[in-house]
Amino acid sequence: MHNDVANAPMTARTTPAPNSTAGATRPAVAVAVIGTGARSVIAHHVPVARNGAAVVAAVDTGEVGRARARATFPDAVVYSSVDDLIAAGNIDAAVVTTPDHTHEDIAVALLEAGIAVYLEKPLAISLDGADRVLATAAETGTPLYVGHNFRHSGVVRTMRGIIERGEIGEVKAIWVRHFVGNGGDYYFKDWHADRSKTGTLLLQKASHDIDIVHYLASGYTRRVVGMGDLMIYGGITDRRERPGETMPDWFSYDNWPPAAQTGLNPVVDVEDVSMMLMTLDNGVQASYQQCHFTPDYWRNYTVIGSEGRLENFGDTSAGVVKVWNRRHEWQADGDIEYPIEGVTSGHADADLATMTEFLDSVLDGAPTVVSPVAAREAVAAGSLAAASLRSGSVPLDVPDLPQSVLDHFSSATPTKHSGRTPR
């Protein structure tokens, strides 16, 4: 999958930064991190990902976030707004790790200021918002990268490799079950639970998987139907604000069973069970199910092709992807089995690969596996599925991107995973 930041390699500035800390030498690539909450840890990959790149600035609108920034990015100048960062100047690239509803405006401001953007997923919380960000990238020519790190995970690379080698024939159907065992802690104790901040967990959480369905199927969703409900967390009345806290402060495996959770966000109006059906532009049929109160936390993909089927068991190292491509009765062992490589928990390896890809694409014009157009298509499918489930499960069709925007993003370069024209 390409990312057309590749079209315009960027020349890093070499002048000293007026806003750098006293006595510090400006790095070859000056990076800002915006939103210094839980996810801002990915900015620590910047100097590892690229020689000469360094985090020189941090932005957070909250005092607690700014204090955290001073502690975790001691060499960075700390700002309280993106406007102040832009006004200070001399920033080459920004890593945006703010809540979802802020992505659109922050990305547009940075792109207009000529600052290359690494934007956390989801690209935006509405289809119009996603299209606005892509249109701004097209108009300004400023590099845009959306951090769909899951494409770089061992389990996805393994599944995609099996498909690319033709081991299950032509992909026809993809079924994804997503057991969000940590859902109560991850998504119902802060802004994630509030529709006005996330739209739907079919974006906040599922945008990864919708993107992977598209990646594995080499197609984009064109029709969706959704169903879902708020089944457990809506009934919990123990609610509170959590000023200054981030998720690691309240996460515990002892928070069980789900209905015994306490301290939920004052607003809880996203669904804790969501299901969607998708028809892709190449005829592939797909489904995605997400539940936020399972005891275990992992994703299970089944990909059925014209000549076989694959399924993952576990989605990190120690897990396995099994392939059945001979005819027989039920058989626990795959006809072929592939161990999943990478980390045993979380996704630090994929995060480093993603940051590396971002900086290499901005600075060298290197091709990328993630794509802003694909990120838009994930937002389109997820947001329309939520609209469908909230309006009696009516089927909804995904509109195409304007041709002028597609044209900007269309000079595809081969992906390093596949070497074929990307999707």
Ligand X SMILES: NC(=O)c1ccc[n+]([C@@H]2O[C@H](COP(=O)([O-])OP(=O)(O)OC[C@H]3O[C@@H](n4cnc5c(N)ncnc54)[C@H](O)[C@@H]3O)[C@@H](O)[C@H]2O)c1
Q: Is 60 in the site for ligand X (CB under 6 A)?
A: yes
Least distance between ligand X and beta carbon 9 (Å): 25
Least distance between ligand X and beta carbon 1 (Å): 16
DSSP code of 49? H
DSSP H helices, 190-307, are 195-198, 201-204, 207-217, 247-250
Q: Which of 7, 13, 44, 62 binds ligand X (CB under 6 A)?
A: 62
Least distance between ligand X and beta carbon 396 (Å): 23
Least distance between ligand X and beta carbon 201 (Å): 11
Q: Do 227 and 291 form a contact (C-beta atoms < 8 A)?
A: no
Question: Exposed/middle/buried for 132, CB within 10 Å: 0-12, 13-18, 19+?
Answer: middle
Cα–Cα distance for residue pair 238/258, rounded to 1 Å: 13
Q: Which of 36, 261, 289, 415 binds ligand X (CB under 6 A)?
A: 36
How many CB atoms sit inside 10 A of residue 138's CB?
Answer: 21
Q: Strands of 314-366 (E only): list them.
A: 320-324, 336-339
Among candidate residues 41, 34, 37, the one with its CA nearest the CA of residue 242: 37
Q: Which is nearer to ligand X, 38 or 320 (CB)?
A: 38
Q: Across the strands, what pairs with 304?
A: 173, 309
Indicate the residue type of 32: A
Q: Which of 50, 121, 292, 322 binds ligand X (CB under 6 A)?
A: 121
Q: Which is nearer to ligand X, 23 or 248 (CB)?
A: 248
Q: Scan residues 315-354 and list those touching ligand X (CB under 6 A).
A: 347
Q: Which of 10, 29, 34, 275 binds ligand X (CB under 6 A)?
A: 34
Q: Which of 99, 183, 258, 319 binds ligand X (CB under 6 A)?
A: 99
Q: Which is nearer to ligand X, 151 or 160 (CB)?
A: 151
Q: Scan residues 186-225 and list those touching ligand X (CB under 6 A).
A: 190, 204
Q: Is 178 in the site for ligand X (CB under 6 A)?
A: no
CA atoms within 13 A on the CB side of 237: 0
Q: Is 104 in the site for ligand X (CB under 6 A)?
A: no
Q: Which is nearer to ligand X, 76 or 171 (CB)?
A: 76
Least distance between ligand X and beta carbon 34 (Å): 5
Q: CA quadruple 368, 372, 373, 378: dihedral positive or negative?
A: positive
DSSP H or E run through 128: helix 127-140
- HEC string of 326-376 equals CCCCCCCCCCEEEECCCCCCCCHHHHHHHHHHHHHHHHHCCCCCCCHHHHH
CA 137 to centroid of chain Cα atoms: 18
- The one segment of 57-65, 137-145, 388-396, 411-419 that binds ligand X by CB under 6 A: 57-65
**Structure-token pair, residue 259:** 């209905």
Q: Scan residues 253-312 and list those touching ligand X (CB under 6 A).
A: none
Contact characters 233-252, ligand X, x per CB under 6 A:
-------------xx-----
Residues that bind ligand X in the complex, under the rule CB under 6 A:
34-39, 59-62, 65, 82, 97-100, 102, 120-121, 147, 149, 190, 204, 246-247, 347
